[in-house]
Amino acid sequence: MAFYDLSKPERHRLVEKINQEILADLYQDENTNIVRFFSDDDTYVRKTGYLAIGKLFYTRPKLQSVIFSVLNTLIESEDELIRQTVINAAGEIGKFHFDNIQSFMDTGLFDDHHRVRNAVIGSIKKMGECNPKPVLAWAKTYLKHTDKEIRREICHGIELRGRTHPQDILPLLKELEFDDTRRVSDTLIHVLGQIAYKNGCLKTVIAHLNTWTNKALVQKALDEIVDVHERYKKFAVLTQQEAIAYIDDNYISNKSY
C-alpha cells in the first residue's frame, strides 16, 4: 500500500518506524534498512528516509561521520533511486553545511540517470533558499561548462533563489546571455520570467537587463515576462498591462524598437 493510501495515524506510525530503523542502522554502522528505504518505489518513503538522514539525525554530531560514510557508500550504488535519495539527503545537509556535501553535488550533476541529475537541481533550489552564498558560488563555476546540459541544469537550479532575491542570481544568468545552445537559452528566458512577477522583482530584473548586450535574447525575455504576468496573474503583483507599462517606461533599449 502506497504512503498516501494510509490513514494519517498510519502514516505517522510508518514515519516513526522508518526513523527508528534508520537510527538503528546508524548506531550499528549498518545500512541495510537505509538501503531498503532509499530504494523504495514510493517517493514519500524515500523522502522520509532522506529527511531522517539529512535533517533529523545529522543534527546529532556523533552521527555525522557515520552518515557521511553511508552516503559515500550509497552514492556508488547501481540503483538510481538510491543515488537520487543520497543527493536529496545531502541537499538537506547543504542547507546549512554546503562545504560538507559539495562533492555529492559535483558527482550527481554528471550522473548518467536523469533522476539523479534532477535531484541535484532540486537540491540547488532548496539549498539556495537557505544557504545562498556558497551554493551560488559553486553554481557559477559550472556556467561555462562545455556540456550544455550542465549549463541548463545550473540555470534551472538557481531559479528558486531568484524568485525572492533576483539580484542574487541575475549576474550569474548574465553569464549565459550569449549561450548559443537553444535548450540553455530557452531555460534562461524561462528563468528570467519566473523571477520577475513577485513584489519588487520586476524593477530589479529590468534594471539588470538594461546592462545586457544581447538585445535579441532580452526581447524574448521581456515577452516571457509579460506572458508570465498573465499566466500567473493570481500571484503576480502587477497586472499584465501594468507590467507592459513598466517595461515600456524603464527598459532603456525599448526606446529603439
The domain that holds 243 is classified in CATH as 1.25.40
Helix axes 80-94 and 43-51, enclosed angle (nearest 10): 40
Q: What is the pLDDT of residue 257?
A: 39
Same domain, 24 and 126: yes
Domain boundary among 122, 141, 160: 141
pLDDT tens digits in sequence order for the chain, 257 residues long = 688 888 899 999 999 999 999 999 999 999 999 999 999 999 999 999 999 999 999 999 999 999 999 999 999 999 999 999 999 999 999 999 999 999 999 999 999 999 999 999 999 999 999 999 999 999 999 999 999 999 999 999 999 999 999 999 999 999 999 999 999 999 999 999 999 999 999 999 999 999 999 999 999 999 999 999 999 999 999 999 999 999 999 998 755 43
Would you say the pTM of this structure is higher than 0.85? yes
- Give the span between the Cα atoms of 177 and 220, in whole angstroms: 11
Q: Which of 125, 141, 157 is the last residue of a domain?
A: 141
Domains of the chain: total? 2
Q: Looking at residue 12, which CATH number applies to its domain?
A: 1.25.10.10
Question: Do you know the residue count of the chain?
Answer: 257
User: What is the 8-class DSSP label of residue 52?
Assistant: I
What would the pLDDT profile of 158-181 be if each residue is shown by its tens digit? 999 999 999 999 999 999 999 999
Regarding whether 152 and 25 lie in a shared domain, the answer is no
Residue range of the domain that includes 28: 1-141
Helices marked H in 158-251 = 159-164, 166-174, 182-194, 201-209, 215-231, 240-250
Same domain, 146 and 90: no
Burial degree of 32 (CB within 10 A; 0-12, 13-18, 19+): exposed
Same domain, 81 and 39: yes
